[in-house]
Amino acid sequence: MAQKLDGKLVAAAIKDDLRLRVARLRQTGVEPGLGTILVGDDVGSRKYVAGKHADCAEVGIRSIAVELPGSASRAEILEQMERLNSDSSCTGYIVQLPLPKGVDSNAVIERINPSKDADGMHPYNLGELVLHIDGGDSSPQPCTPRGIITLLSHYNIDLSGKEVCVLGRGITVGRTIGLMLAARGVDATVTLCHTGTRDVHELMRRADVVIAAMGSAGFVKPEDVKPGAVLVDVGVSRVYDEEAGRYRVKGDIDLGCREVCSAYTPNPGGVGPMTRAMLLTNVVEMAERRMNAANDLAV
């Protein structure tokens, strides 16, 4: 029987550790704070941001919520970002995507102070990820790739020398996880596949690990999976269930693949909770770096 890689269980253990670290920080007078900027009334975004603030409450991180109407201009969004950039109570923050049409998301993300980039997606921090193949970089790391690697490590899945097939070239997972998997100490061999990849099904069948982040429901079928492979399902699609009469969340990997693989992440309940736990981890690490820098100056 394939092993379930339970992201909820591992995320709960991470939160327990973070709770202790936050308590220690508070004893030194440092209180971590996570800021969020939500623009518009997208139901999914609103729910996701609310979940992040609930996570903060669990571990003792201060929440700083900024909400703007969907009609907000780029200038109005940047004004709130500058406020958080200069707010000493805000350790790190995110700008929730998607932004309204006509607002360049990349241009907005570039205005985040890199040292407050809780998502680890600022161009400076991504550049640091490219430069430091030894994994020695102390910049915040992208949350979803970090969550995936942490989850696999928790279950003692050794990636060294393994062939990893990544489906999807989005910046959130596809283009960033390859850098982290190829870093020394992980040492996987990564193939990045996308809509222009020839023989994608053959590449999947050859892989020891398949990480699916396409947003194409049930794309990976049992016949695409090498017996004993590890499957990581990141993609999320809302598919209408005729029998239930409502929409359901469905991942990129068909449930039948669990009969072939050795381990899998459920979706939901696998990568999602780990992504949120890594966001909290980034914020706590930022606060710890601030505390250590202050201590160094005091010596």
Q: Is 236 annotated as a binding-site member?
A: yes
Query: Any catalytic annotation for residue 80?
Result: no
Q: Which of 15, 52, 116, 226 is catalytic?
A: 52
Q: What pLDDT, on a 0 to 100 scale, did the predictor assign at position 238?
A: 87
Q: Indicate whether 265 belongs to any domain.
A: yes
Least Cα distance to 165 among 99, 107, 211, 98 occurs for 211
Q: What pLDDT, on a 0 to 100 scale, did the predictor assign at position 299?
A: 52
Give the whole-angstrom CA distance, residue 132 versus residue 123: 14
pTM of the model: 0.94
Q: Are residues 166 and 221 in the same domain?
A: yes
Q: Indicate whether 279 belongs to any domain.
A: no
Q: Indicate whether 84 belongs to any domain.
A: yes
Q: Indicate whether 150 belongs to any domain.
A: yes
Q: What pLDDT, on a 0 to 100 scale, did the predictor assign at position 282?
A: 97
Q: Are residues 92 and 161 in the same domain?
A: no
Peptide bond into 98 cis (omega under 30): yes
Q: Is 196 annotated as a binding-site member?
A: no
Q: Indicate whether 176 belongs to any domain.
A: yes
Q: Indicate whether 180 belongs to any domain.
A: yes
Q: Is 169 annotated as a binding-site member?
A: yes
Residue at token pair 């100490």 = 185
Q: Are residues 165 and 48 in the same domain?
A: no
Q: Indicate whether 287 belongs to any domain.
A: no
Q: Are residues 106 and 151 in the same domain?
A: no
Range of the domain at 251: 142-271
Q: Are residues 152 and 244 in the same domain?
A: yes
Terminal CA-to-CA distance of the chain, rounded, Å?
Answer: 56
Q: Which of 6, 55, 119, 208 is catalytic?
A: 119
Q: Are residues 162 and 256 in the same domain?
A: yes
Q: Which of 6, 96, 162, 254 is catalytic?
A: 96
pLDDT digits (tens, 9 = 90+) for 90-132: 999 999 999 988 999 999 999 999 999 999 999 999 999 999 8
Domain total of the chain: 2
Q: What pLDDT, on a 0 to 100 scale, did the predictor assign at position 248?
A: 87
Q: What pLDDT, on a 0 to 100 scale, did the predictor assign at position 133?
A: 79
Q: Are residues 102 and 169 in the same domain?
A: no
Least Cα distance to 179 among 249, 238, 125, 260 occurs for 125
Domain boundary among 66, 97, 113: 113
Strands (E), the chain: 3-4, 33-39, 62-68, 92-95, 163-167, 189-193, 209-212, 230-233, 237-241, 246-250, 263-264
Q: Indicate whether 208 belongs to any domain.
A: yes
Q: Are residues 104 and 206 in the same domain?
A: no
Q: Are residues 107 and 150 in the same domain?
A: no
Q: What pLDDT, on a 0 to 100 scale, did the predictor assign at position 136?
A: 65
Q: Are residues 188 and 234 in the same domain?
A: yes
Q: What pLDDT, on a 0 to 100 scale, did the predictor assign at position 138?
A: 80
Those residues of the chain that have pLDDT short of 50 are: none
Q: Are residues 40 and 83 in the same domain?
A: yes
- Which CATH number goes with the domain that contains 93? 3.40.50.10860
Q: Are residues 170 and 246 in the same domain?
A: yes
Query: Any catalytic annotation for residue 96?
Result: yes
- Which CATH number goes with the domain that contains 263? 3.40.50.720
